[in-house]
Amino acid sequence: MYNSASLNANEFISDEEVMESLAYADANKDNYPLIRQILDKAALRKGLSHREASVLLACDDPELLEEMYDLAEQIKKDFYGNRIVMFAPLYLSNYCVNGCVYCPYHRQNTHIPRKKLTQEEVAQEVIALQDMGHKRLAIEAGEDPVNNPIDYILECVKTIYSVKHKNGAIRRVNVNIAATSVENYRKLKEAEIGTYILFQETYHKKSYEQLHPAGPKHNYDYHTEAMDRAMEGGIDDVGIGVLFGLDKYRYEFAALLMHAEHLEAVHGVGPHTISVPRIKRADGIDPSTFDNGIDDETFAKICALIRLAVPYTGMIISTRESQAVREKVIRLGVSQISGASRTTVGGYTEDIRPTETEQFDVSDQRTLDEVVQWLMSKGYIPSFCTACYREGRTGDRFMSLCKSGQIQNCCHPNALMTLKEFLEDYASEDTKRVGEELIQQELLNIPKEKVRGIARSYIDNIESGQRDFRF
């Protein structure tokens, strides 16, 4: 029985409800009056239900599709302006006891070297990341209660926050580790993590069980109910996602939105972010052996429709995607991207990109400076801001900032100030020139005169050597 407020995975991601929604979408994919109604509702910027969004996903009329894209772009501009938040993943350990068939870290992979960073190595990686200009990390680890217990993860978080190299600092550590207990989530909260991220991989229970044949991750219910435990443990920013390519994308899309509706129904706040990874080639992993790969067009449509369905939820795209694909989907709704990522354990301290322990192939291999300059050349403001979480604006408090329309007086100056720090400390001459011009131009777009004045003086202070201002 479908019940979005239930705490039972099989009820809030009811297979029956997904199948009925897909049948409804098929039956209505050419129902113009209904589609019109759904698009009008989306234009109110209050979101769409999984059923409504599924109808749009099924619709393939080129003109209506164009309208969906235009609306997604507009909603993105309204809520996120032209800011793109930057982050990098940091791989701590590839020891893993699970059997995920799409991941090279699965336990039966005996030829991949296993590596776990010591605290000294974590510090070295963090220095390398700080020296590029990163302020926000997502830590990644396999699941292994012996090699990577929660205490190891907590120690790493502590080390990461403690490293202060030159003007560098990691100000927000997001955590992407396997589903765990309320008690452990509470410990992560106490360690002051930012978002807890966990991809569902696939919402289709039967496929999930086949794709995760061994290890604790095999338990679909435990994995699917993880965000409820995280929220019970006090973490109010959670990030969900699907690994596209594992199962049918229309199923995943409807279920992903049902998950968001569930979190909203139970905890009063939806997911902070949604990630949209696609399977990539990796050691012993050939993406073409998975039948459900999606092309770039479908991928872009999914991103645009997530933007319409959950306007306040951040959307993340990683370096799994190429520059061209990233460019397309940033316009349609993505608000956060990684830059200069290395998906190897200990990869940032190597001069040449290592591949030995890589989790997947990275398509976008540009440096952070190149990504920053590219974003600016496309009219975006690369932002290294971490202010909300440090000011306690998480969960529903962050959502109310979004809804109040005050983002332009808060996130916009914060983005400019953190970009200024990047330009002063890490940018190439060329990037600096483009950035300085952009900052002067964009300061004019801060609506409140008083805020504009304060932002200007903070930016002057940054130029004379001070750091870490925020609204």
β-strands 314-317, 381-383 pairing = unpaired
User: CA of 407: how far to CAs of 304, 342, 448, in Å?
Assistant: 21, 32, 11
* Number of residues this chain uses to bind ligand SAM (CB under 6 A): 21
| Shortest reach from residue 239's CB to ligand SAM, in Å | 11
Distance (Å) of CA 3 to CA 48, 261, 265, 292, 354: 17, 10, 10, 28, 47
Among 21, 176, 338, 373, binds ligand SAM (CB under 6 A): 176
Which x/- pattern over 28-67 shows residues binding ligand SAM (rule: CB under 6 A)? ----------------------------------------
450 to 244, 412, 456: CA distances (angstroms): 45, 14, 10
Is 24 a residue that touches ligand SAM (CB under 6 A)? no
CB-count burial class (<10 Å; 0-12, 13-18, 19+) for 33: exposed
Q: How many CB atoms are located within 10 Å of the residue 183 CB?
A: 10
Question: Which of the stretches 136-144, 265-273, 411-419, 460-468 binds ligand SAM when contact is defined by CB under 6 A?
Answer: 136-144
Q: Does 222 bind ligand SAM (CB under 6 A)?
A: no
Judged by CB under 6 A, the stretch of 53-61, 74-82, 185-193, 277-285 that binds ligand SAM is: 277-285
For ligand SAM, the closer of residues 157 and 285 by Cβ is: 285
Greatest CA separation for the chain:
63
Q: Residue type for 232, please?
A: E
Candidate segments 33-41, 76-84, 137-145, 295-303, binder of ligand SAM by CB under 6 A: 137-145
Task: State the nearest-atom distance from the C-beta of 123 to ligand SAM, in Å.
Answer: 21
**Can you tell me which of 17, 201, 225, 442 binds ligand SAM, judged by CB under 6 A?**
201
Q: At what angle do helices 323-332 and 296-309 cross, to 10 degrees?
A: 30
Rounded to whole angstroms, how far apart are CA atoms 401 and 404?
Answer: 5
Nearest distance in Å: CB 363, ligand SAM: 11
Q: Which stretches of 338-448 are DSSP H helices? A: 368-377, 387-390, 395-404, 411-425, 429-443
Binding mask 399-438 for ligand SAM (x = CB under 6 A): ----------------------------------------
**Residue number with CB closer to ligand SAM (26 or 286):** 286
Chain residues binding ligand SAM by CB under 6 A are 102-103, 140, 142-143, 176-178, 198-199, 201, 217, 243, 277, 279-280, 282, 285, 320, 359-360
